[in-house]
Structure 1
Amino acid sequence: MLKRSLRWTLALPQASPRWPATKSPTRPRAFTSRYPLLLVTRNASPRPRLPFLPQASPHSKQLLLQRQVARVLSTENKQYVKQQTWFGVKLCIGAFVVFNLVGFGLMSFHDEMVEKEKPSPPEWTYLTRTAWRAALDEADTNNKRLRPVDPAKVANFYLACLRRLEDSASDGKELGKLAVPEEEAYEIVRDVAPIALDASRKSNEWKAGYVEVILGLGKAAEHSQHLVYDNSRAQFFPETSVVGPSNPRPRKLPSDVTPPKEEDCVRGIPDPEVIYNRVVYGAGFTPKQRIDVHHALANWLHFTKNEAAADQQYSQALEIAKAAYGNQVDASTLSPNLLAAYKQQATHLARTDRISSAVPIFLSCLQSVRTASSTSSALPTPAPTSAPAPPSSNPLANLSKRLFREDVYPLPTTTGNEPLTTLPRPALSCHEAELLLYIGEILFSSSRHADGLAWTREATELAAADAKEVARASGLQKEDEERCKGCVGAGAGNWEAMVGQMVKQLEGQKNGWWGGSKRKEELERTREAGAVLDGVKARLLGDGVVDPGVFLPRGT
């Protein structure tokens, strides 16, 4: 019976034990016993806080990170990283070298193209040529864009070129130095001393380029005498804006420009006389080069109201031109140098109100030029230079022609001492137009308005006809081309100004019983002359003979 009840009891389903109701724990307990050394950390880390284990801290985290990185950078990985790093360094160095070589090649190619367009003397070094071209580009770019040229910037480039040309360690080897009269009257400005040069041992190309630098620097210096150079900022400022004891009331500059201090400033550009005296009292230069520099110096002296010194310079230039012929100077032996010297002297006499002395010189020169022109007509006219061949359709062929063309600095083909009969007829016509223009100005200023307008009109039409021949490559030199275009612009400007003044004067006269019809006829003829001028301008511009800037008023 007991066995049966026990078997029945075991067969019944066993009920799970029922524990007393308690709150479920909020966090797992690592140990059932709350021993002080077995407390769970507060940062929910499963790691217990034991005395023999390191405690969590920023320093320990950094060590842990370093150990993890050390585990990643195994021996094989370290070698791979070193290889890739070295490869990256070599790649950067190679790219840097290639980039600089390409830039240097492009710069060299550009300089070579510029050298083809504007050849420089072969003896000049690279930095000298760069400064010289920078001065030319600054002036040419602004002239083409009809913008005013910054004379200080141009003078600074020319000054850098001049210093290198006179440096015995650079381009001034075998260059002698001579003393100039009254040397103590001038000061040394930016390493430019008042000296003269002996260029007898230099080549013709070097001397021609040097004289070009002297004339360019002198012209820029004439317009920069009011400027000072701030050494601290390498900039030019008007001397009236310098702050210092010598200028208690400086002129105000724009708000974003800090005025210069007197202790930081020096004179910006040397005196033009210091520049021109290098050739005036120098040796080894051709007569034409010396005459050109004498005329430039005389023009500056006239501007400074030193008429006596200007007369002396014009006389010295005339003596240099006569020296090639001795005392046998007449109309048949008149040379381009003599013609230039006489014209400049007569122009100076006219500007100083000595009209009675200037007009005979102009008329004598005009007669000599016309005589030479009629004589040269029987002589064989020099063959005009052939027109340049049209560019090929192949760009590589055009590039090769430009690259492999020999660079030759253009020297004058004549010395200036040859008779006028040896000049091409277009060159003689340019001289004739220039003389007619001078005479027309003098006649108009002496109240002979009709005669002055007639001479000016003839000069302009003759210069316009010569300009067309120049455009067709008639063999003229660059100086003659510039003279011809200058005559066109000056003649057109004078013609227009004369017509405007005469029309205004005739319209302002009151009508009367006598002479009314004559005044109307004269007014009509004057207006017709203005219409003819407009036609001449349109024809020259339409044919592309001259640029529009030629007809701008002088001084703009």
Structure 2
Amino acid sequence: MRARLVVRRQRLVDAAPTHPQLFFTTRSFASQSKFTSTKARPSLPFLLVPRTSSAPVRFFTSERRRWLKHEAKLVARYTITLWGVAAAVLTILFAVNEESVERDFPTPHDWGYLTRKFLRDANGFRDPKSGEVNWARALELARGVVTRLEDPKLDGKDVSKLSDTEDPSLEVPAEFNSCDISAKSEDWRRGYFEAIMLAAKAAEHVDGWLRDRTRNVVSPPEFVIGPSNPRPKPIAPGNPHAPREEDCEIAYPSADNFYMKILATKGLSARQKMDAALEYASFMEFKGRGDGPEALYNLALAEATQGIEPAKLPYNPKTFVVKDRADPPSLNILDALTAIATHKARQGDLSSALPIYVSLLKARRSLSDSPPRSTPPKPPRQSIFQQVVSFISPPDYPPPPPDGTQPPWRSPYERCQEASLNLYIGEILYATGSRDDGLAWTRDGVDLSEEQLRALGSSTDRSNKDSRQTCRECLATGLDNWSTMVARLARAEEAKKSGGVSSNVFSFWSGSQDAEGRWAAEEAVVQERKRRTKELLEDVAPPSASIWTFIKA
């Protein structure tokens, strides 16, 4: 029975087909084969057998690459846009600032841009809004302007040198050679004169400054440590330490070089040369250089009287006193004679200075009270477009000032000059013993200068600005002189009172006596006058109105 079953199983096994199945194949549900036909049996995810090892995943796909490129383009676009806007804003602010500075310190339009900017910056360092004057930087920029104006490759076309001498010690060997600028325009020559005069004035203020060769630091002589300065001043915190004298050299050329160059330059007017001679004489007088100032004052007077015959001079050539019946003297003659009288007074020659001052005051008071008649051409009517263009266009260079060959009229500036003459006369009279007369002249000078200051007001006109500055200087000097005179008289009165000097029965025949306490009372009046006029001596600008003023508490 058992054997039969074994045979039976063997036959069943042998009966199985041995050829491969052609039309049907077995498919495991666990396998993941990709079919091109969408009608095949679906692959069910819940029947898949989980694997222990995860397959690698591709994170950086083509879609992500395109997204990164788009973001990079946006970053570059926004960055370039923001930097472009910032550069445009800075450029606009720079242009507006340059336009504002040009209106404050105008420059000739036929100069190059850098030359004009150097002169504007030099004037800005000379007269800054912050009040911190930097004469050294002003001198460097002014010298650069003059050098560019004399360079034929820059702005010095048609400018010829009058000498070929060179100084190897200078940065520009031919810097102080005089030039012939007759071929240039009037505006060009005026700008050239302004630049070289600014350099001369700045050189006066940095006269004697030293440069440390080891550090290239410029310092005034009072801070230098050395045998010539045994007690140097302390350096302000935050500045480089004081240089040593053995490491220093002269930093800047003397102002004499600039003044001599101006006096030898061809193409300048008589007024310009006279101004240069007077400034040079004042500098030499300050330095105490013997007879040099007197020769320069005579040179200035010679420039002022060019073209006038000796017989028609309005003053006495020996005493310099203005003649009573002569024609009104010109502005140049008045300025030159005033400078000569001041020089004589400083030298102690009061007997010669006082008649000159009195004659000058009489001559100025006899001038016309109305300005000369001039009929400026009526400007044509402009269209709206022309008005807009003229508003945004650069301002015109100011017209030339008077050449000084005609008598002036009693403008506010000339009246301030009269006030200064009153002060000079008052000082001389007080110094020579005429106390009451000296005080009276000083009071008149203070009253006149204050009157002109109040009449000028706060006008922003350039000519009124110069007149206001002159009147301020005159008023401040007059108040100081008045205060000093009265203070001395008050001290003398107090000493006299403390000495026990009293009046006696013969005081009626002993002359006029000062009222008791008169000078002390007048001293109080002077102090009150100073307090009242303080607003006139300073430029008090109102606070600027902006959007932030409405936010502040």
**2:196 maps to what in 1?**
214
Q: Secondary structure at the match of 2:161?
A: strand
**2:519 maps to what in 1?**
526
* Change in CA separation of 1:105 and 1:437 when aligned onto 2, cut-off 3 Å: same
**2:396 maps to what in 1?**
408
Confirm or deny: 8 A CA contact 1:463 1:488 kept in the other structure: yes
Confirm or deny: 8 A CA contact 1:132 1:161 kept in the other structure: yes
Structure 1 vs Structure 2: percent identity of aligned residues? 29
The alignment's TM-score, normalised by the length of structure 1, stands at: 0.71
- How far apart, CA to CA, are the structure 1 residues paired with 2:226 and 2:526? 55
- How far apart, CA to CA, are the structure 2 residues paired with 1:247 and 1:353? 32
Deviations 1:3-47 (A, max 9, x none): xxxxxxxxxxxxxxxxxxxxxxxxxxxxxxxxxxxxxxxxxxx99
Q: Secondary structure at the match of 1:415?
A: coil
- How far apart, CA to CA, are the structure 2 residues paired with 1:403 and 1:235? 44
User: Aligned to 1:275, which of 258, 263, 269?
Assistant: 258
* Change in CA separation of 1:427 and 1:303 when aligned onto 2, cut-off 3 Å: closer
Compare 520-529 and 169-178 and name the one that shifted more. 520-529
Give, in angstroms, the shift of residue 292 of structure 1: 1.0
Deviations 1:515-544 (A, max 9, x none): 889897356443444344445445545xx6
Give, in angstroms, the shift of residue 452 of structure 1: 1.6
Q: Secondary structure at the match of 1:236?
A: strand
Compare 494-503 and 253-262 and name the one that shifted more. 253-262
Letter in 2 for 1:465: E
Confirm or deny: 8 A CA contact 2:189 2:268 kept in the other structure: yes
Give, in angstroms, the shift of residue 79 of structure 1: 4.5
Q: Secondary structure at the match of 1:332?
A: coil
- How do residues 448-467 of structure 1 correspond to structure 2 at under 5 angstroms? 448-467=434-453
Q: Secondary structure at the match of 2:152?
A: coil
Q: Secondary structure at the match of 2:95?
A: helix
* Change in CA separation of 1:527 and 1:148 when aligned onto 2, cut-off 3 Å: farther
Confirm or deny: 8 A CA contact 2:206 2:220 kept in the other structure: no
**1:158 maps to what in 2?**
142
Confirm or deny: 8 A CA contact 2:223 2:232 kept in the other structure: yes
Confirm or deny: 8 A CA contact 1:178 1:195 kept in the other structure: yes
* Change in CA separation of 1:140 and 1:284 when aligned onto 2, cut-off 3 Å: same
Confirm or deny: 8 A CA contact 1:229 1:268 kept in the other structure: yes
Letter in 1 for 2:275: D
**1:28 maps to what in 2?**
none
Give, in angstroms, the shift of residue 253 of structure 1: 4.9
Letter in 2 for 1:158: A
Compare 318-327 and 164-173 and name the one that shifted more. 164-173
- How far apart, CA to CA, are the structure 1 residues paired with 2:231 and 2:522? 53
* Change in CA separation of 1:407 and 1:523 when aligned onto 2, cut-off 3 Å: farther
State whether structure 2 residue 101 is matched by structure 1 residue 101. Answer: no
Deviations 1:84-128 (A, max 9, x none): 434433443333233212211221122123323432221233333
Confirm or deny: 8 A CA contact 1:178 1:198 kept in the other structure: yes
User: Aligned to 1:116, which of 82, 100, 103?
Assistant: 103
- How far apart, CA to CA, are the structure 2 residues paired with 1:299 and 1:365? 20
- How far apart, CA to CA, are the structure 1 residues paired with 2:226 and 2:525? 58
- How far apart, CA to CA, are the structure 1 residues paired with 2:171 and 2:282? 22
Letter in 1 for 2:193: V
User: Aligned to 2:338, which of 340, 343, 352?
Assistant: 343
Q: Secondary structure at the match of 2:366?
A: helix
Higher relative contact order (CA 8 A, sep 6+): 1
Equivalent residues, number = 459
- How far apart, CA to CA, are the structure 2 residues paired with 1:284 and 1:311? 25
- How far apart, CA to CA, are the structure 2 residues paired with 1:276 and 1:481? 28
* Change in CA separation of 1:87 and 1:425 when aligned onto 2, cut-off 3 Å: closer
* Change in CA separation of 1:185 and 1:174 when aligned onto 2, cut-off 3 Å: closer
- How far apart, CA to CA, are the structure 2 residues paired with 1:189 and 1:243? 27
- How far apart, CA to CA, are the structure 1 residues paired with 2:279 and 2:371? 35
| Structure 2 residue ranges without an equivalent (≥5) | 1-51, 315-325, 377-386, 541-553
**1:322 maps to what in 2?**
305
Please, what is the CA RMSD of the aligned residues? 4.1
Confirm or deny: 8 A CA contact 2:429 2:438 kept in the other structure: yes
* Change in CA separation of 1:237 and 1:539 when aligned onto 2, cut-off 3 Å: closer
